[in-house]
């Protein structure tokens, strides 16, 4: 089974959604045969690399609410995250551009470190309060998941390494992704948002059932047509009796 996940590293529901899916997979009998592919999505491609203010002021300006309302909303999110063992520190978060983080994650995926890099980026942003657009910070994160420092520096220095990020984003537009997280199972079923583990479990079971079902062939030969075929006993022509 293949699961594609479109997400952004500054999206609080993306981190929650990923872990809710992981929780559903913990109880899934065939989880070892599930392949997860992380896809890139920028919530704000025009976001500045250096934050203008803290998370609360950014959220208040974006939603047209007061800073106090922004704090209350964030606290509610933090409680949801805590249920999954995630520590959201909104007071430390630095809203920023995520393009370079996505570029590094795509390279990490190429060398078999994709999942580790994704988790490191989420943790760095939501818990540690790191500026995940800063190349020095990104390089250090790359090293923590086993990437060579020189490779990380090279990737971040080359703008052409963003092609795979743009391909993911173009694919998202083609299939109608309007927000993240967005999950696609076997290129057939889509789940939008950080759904409860029970929802993911139902989808996993449905896709698994379809994968294991034997294909049922339907005869499309027109009624009354002549059927010509050969067997090990010879060749003959028969009129279809269906």
pLDDT at 227 over 70: no
- pLDDT tier for residue 46 given thresholds of 50, 70 and 90: very high
Instruction: Identify which of 85, 72, 112 has the alpha carbon closest to the alpha carbon of residue 26.
Output: 85
112 vs 214, which has greater pLDDT?
A: 112
What six digits make up the tokens of 202? Answer: 């139902």
Q: Is the pLDDT of residue 222 over 80?
A: no
Q: Taking the chain, what is the end-to-end CA distance rounded to the nearest angstrom?
A: 37
| pLDDT for res 213 | 83
Nearest Cα residue to 118 out of 36, 26, 200 = 36
- The pLDDT of residue 52 is 83
CA–CA dist 203, 209 (Å, integer): 10
Residues 42, 180: Cα–Cα separation, whole Å? 9
Domain positions in the chain are 2-51+94-212
98 CB neighbour count, 10 Å cutoff: 26
Q: Is residue 50 predicted with pLDDT exceeding 70? A: yes
Closest CA to 200 of 36, 8, 83, 10: 36
At residue 67, what are phi and psi to the nearest 5 degrees? -60, -35
pLDDT attached to residue 53 = 87
Helix axes 99-110, 163-175, angle to 10 degrees: 100
Rg (CA), the chain: 24
The residue among 235 and 37 whose pLDDT is bigger is 37
- Contact assessment for residue 53 and residue 21, using Cβ atoms and an 8 Å cutoff: no
pTM for the model:
0.87
What is the rounded CA–CA span in Å between residue 19 and residue 11? 13
**Is the N-terminal amide bond of 100 cis, ω within 30° of 0?**
no
57-108 residue pLDDT tens: 999 999 999 999 999 999 999 999 999 999 999 999 999 999 999 999 999 9
**pLDDT: which is higher, 64 or 220:** 64
d(CA 114, CA 106): 7
Mean pLDDT of the chain: 92
53: phi then psi, degrees, rounded to nearest 5: -165, -170
Confidence at residue 159, expressed as pLDDT on a 0 to 100 scale: 75
* pLDDT band at residue 230 using 50, 70 and 90 as cut-offs: confident
Q: Determine the average pLDDT of the residues in 166-172.
A: 97
pLDDT grade, residue 26 (50/70/90)?
very high
Which CATH fold topology does 2-51+94-212 show? Glutaredoxin (3.40.30)
Comparing 230 with 38, the larger pLDDT belongs to 38
């Amino acid at each position: 089974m293949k699961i594609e996940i479109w997400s952004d590293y500054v999206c609080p529901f993306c981190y929650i959604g990923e872990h809710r899916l992981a929780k559903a997979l913990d109880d899934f009998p065939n989880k070892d045969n599930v392949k997860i592919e992380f896809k890139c999505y920028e919530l704000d491609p025009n976001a500045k690399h250096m934050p203008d203010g803290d998370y609360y002021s950014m959220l208040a300006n974006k939603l047209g609410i007061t800073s106090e309302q922004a704090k209350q909303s964030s606290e509610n999110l933090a409680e949801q995250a805590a249920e999954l063992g995630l520590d959201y520190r909104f007071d430390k978060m630095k809203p920023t551009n995520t393009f370079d983080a996505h570029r590094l994650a795509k390279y990490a995926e190429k060398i078999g470190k994709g999942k580790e890099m994704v988790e490191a980026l989420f943790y760095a942003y939501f818990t540690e309060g790191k500026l995940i657009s800063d190349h020095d910070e990104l390089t250090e994160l790359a090293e923590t998941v086993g990437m060579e420092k020189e490779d990380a520096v090279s990737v971040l220095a080359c703008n052409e390494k963003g092609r795979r990020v743009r391909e993911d984003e173009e694919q998202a537009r083609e299939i109608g992704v309007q927000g993240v997280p967005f999950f696609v199972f076997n290129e057939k079923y889509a789940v939008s948002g950080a759904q409860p583990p029970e929802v993911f479990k139902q989808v996993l079971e449905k896709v698994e059932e379809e994968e294991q079902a034997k294909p049922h062939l339907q005869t499309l030969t027109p009624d009354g047509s002549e059927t010509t075929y050969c067997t090990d006993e010879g060749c003959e022509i028969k009129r279809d009796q269906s």
